Amino acid sequence: MIYELVDIYGDTVVEIDELHDEVTERTIIAAAVNSKFTEWNASDIKVQGREFTLSHRKVLLKIDKQLIKDAQYVVKGSELFKIEKLVDLQKRWTLAYVKRYRA
């Protein structure tokens, strides 16, 4: 299996402004994580729906879910993906459902 390296980020509250809103900053949680962007199969499309599978991807991450439980973004090169759901597969693997944001 050929892996691609991704970075995993989360938002950290850095301050509260005068309107009591949180001001956040994107911080790195894990760097250079082995990953594999996987394709949707016919049964996935049937369960999730075509609309969902057009805008979302599955990413297999070689990292324990507990280490990235607060993660919100996966970054591959210049592409930013918002994490929608994390699924614990084994001790070392996590499946992430992500949505791509275009810059």
| Architecture of the domain spanning 4-101 | Beta Barrel (2.40)
**7-11, 39-43, 50-54, 70-74: the lowest-pLDDT one:** 50-54
Of 63, 51, 53, the C-alpha closest to 87 is 63
Give the mean pLDDT of 49-68.
89
Do the Cβ atoms of 37 and 59 come closer than 8 Å?
A: yes
Confidence of residue 103 (pLDDT cuts 50, 70, 90): low
- Each domain of the chain, given as residue ranges in start order, spans 4-101
Do the Cβ atoms of 16 and 24 come closer than 8 Å?
A: no
Query: CA torsion angle for 2, 65, 13, 74 (degrees, to 10)?
Result: 20
pLDDT tens per residue across span 60-77: 999 999 999 999 999 999
